Amino acid sequence: MRLLPLLLLVICSPWPLLQSADAGRTLAEAGAARRPRVRAVSLGGWLVTEGWVKPSLFDGIPNNDLLDGTQLQFKSVARNRYLAAEQGGGGAIVADREQPSGWETFKLWRINETTFNFRVFGNQFVGVDISGRVVATATTPGPSETFQLVRRDGDKTRVRIRAPNGLFLQAKTMDSVTADHSEDTNWGDDDPSVFVTNSVAHLQGEYQLCNGYGIRKARQVLRDHWRTFITESDFSFIASSGLNAVRIPVGWWIASDPRPPRPFVGGSLRALDNAFRWAEKYNLDIIVDLHAAPGSQNPYEHSATRDGSQEWGTRDESIAQTVQVIDFLASRYAESPSLLAVSLLNSPLAPGATLRSLTKYYRLGYDAVRRHTRTAYVVMPARLAADDTELLGFAGRFSRAVLDVHYYNLFSGAFDRLTADDTELLGFAGRFSRAVLDVHYYNLFSGAFDRLTADENIDFVRRNRSSDLAAVTRRNGRPLTFVGEWVAEWNVRGASERDYQRFAQVQQDVYGRATFGWAYWMLKNVNHHWSMQWMIQNGYITLDSSRSRAIISPPDGDEQMEMESAGRLKQDAVQAS
């Protein structure tokens, strides 16, 4: 008899606890279900550098046209032929090509402002063998792969290349490039040690900035930038404009702040901490967006690649390291009421980022977030250059998972206007879901958009984007959908302010149907239409949630999901009891 009450107590005690916890969750989730959909702006170019957003960041770098990843072609003036790595690499360097292409293009790894390694098409490095021949055989660069570029005074395109032995490269014949020319030169067209360079591409990302300035100066430049580019007053502006969230791109090195691996510099973590303080103060949500992963998940500067190589996911270590970054971020901000979501990997590019490595990583990254928070959403971005629906089934298995798609109306035409500055090409390139980047010739995209009028662009959003979005949106909200990047910029020449307003509005209307919401790319940019702040302040974008809700009747996916997940929690509680 005396046992019974005790037994009852043991049996019953977990029940009310579970029940109340369950009730609390249900309420919280019902509350979340009633929240307006995310209308966010990305704080792009803040904690992950993109040169086209604020080119002046690079102004103070000596020889800032020779940064990591710059692609050079060298024409021997004496032979009137380009240097080439035979077979793209693995053998000799010759000087017999009339037209330059991939095998004739050399990517810089910068040691300092005058000293470089040259990486060839097949990823080997140019070096000098024991007989003094110039070859491209080393898989990692060492002292015999380190060269000095000596530019002619008054003509930066005319160069000589000093080999590690102190002598200069020369194209003695078309078949023989050797490191044995003396210091003497008159820079004339008959000098086999003189080359004319073409610079065919360059990158301006975090790697280029940090390695270009060197650690000490980079730290100073970036800390100034972090302190001034985004401030508390921006959070106040964002909140008062009718937005309810910010998406903040971060780089993997933030997890080893304050002493990240070279050449990256510490301090961005403190800026992100500030962002959370301001978001809490102005009642904004934050989507932390891992924009640059170790090894780089795409070849664009915003993934902090050194030279355009994309190596993320090719080895398990890079996946494990990336999961640690997610774990770090989730753990640091799990308790913040402003942490809305963690986005696992911006714009992974197919086929380099394989579906297999990506789903493996998304599963582990999801678990890493869930170790610290049950409520944060986990954003799983679709692969660029793949079908946006390929992750639907996978992502649908996780509670509070969000599929992220990026919708731009910009293709080759945008670049017609911008070819004056090649830098911008690579900056833009990574933003297009169907982009095919040809870094050798800048033929960036299929030209689907360059002939469209304003009305046709608007129709494209209304019809084609609607159906693209419908194809990834499931009524049960598993996964939720997020148009994680869009912009009111296009290829229409001479578009009026009214055209831009209609274009911005139709995108708000259509992307407002995404069950998680949308984020504009980006808050600030020297190119006005890419700056949501400029667009709002100048009346190009009006955020009127009641209007867009009145026009669109959004699917009730997330509400349904919340109900389902509340139901599941109840079942779990019953089973546990």
Which residues of the shown chain bind ligand NAG in the complex (CB under 6 A)?
111-115, 448, 460, 463-464
From residue 549, give the alpha-carbon distance in Å to each of 298, 357, 468, 510, 544: 36, 38, 20, 10, 9
Identify which of residues 164 and 267 has a Cβ nearer to ligand NAG in the complex.
164
Peptide bond into 62 cis (omega under 30): no
Q: What angle do CA 524, 528, 529 make, to 5 degrees?
A: 100
- Tokens representing 386 are 């793949």
**And the tokens for 185?**
């030169």
- Decide whether 145 or 301 has the Cβ nearer to ligand NAG: 145
CA angle 13, 15, 20 (to 5 degrees): 110
The least CB distance from residue 463 to ligand NAG, in Å, is 6
Q: Sign (positive/negative) of CA torsion 247, 251, 255, 259?
A: negative
Dihedral sign of CA atoms 251, 256, 262, 268 in order: positive
- The first and second tokens of residue 527, run together, are 């190119």
CA 324 to chain centroid, in Å, comes to 19
Residue with smaller CB distance to ligand NAG, 63 or 314 = 63
Our CB check for ligand NAG shows the closer of 112 and 577 to be 112
CB 457 to ligand NAG: min, Å = 9
DSSP of 318-378, one letter per residue? HHHHHHHHHHHHHHHHTT-TTEEEEE--S-PBTTTS-HHHHHHHHHHHHHHHHTT-SSSEE
- Report which of 491, 489, 407 is spatially closest to residue 449, judged by C-alpha positions: 491
| Least distance between ligand NAG and beta carbon 465 (Å) | 9
Closest distance of CB 188 from ligand NAG, Å: 27
* Closest CB 112 distance from ligand NAG, rounded Å: 4
Q: How far is the CB of 378 from ligand NAG (least distance, A)?
A: 31
Closest approach, Cβ 456 to ligand NAG, in A, equals 8
Residue 152 or 363 having the CB closest to ligand NAG: 152
C-beta closer to ligand NAG: residue 27 or 448 = 448
Q: Closer to ligand NAG at the Cβ: 165 or 231?
A: 165
Task: Output 453 or 501, the one with its CB closest to ligand NAG.
Answer: 453
Give every CB contact of residue 172 below 8 A, 6+ residues apart in sequence.
178, 192
Smallest gap from residue 455 Cβ to ligand NAG (A): 13
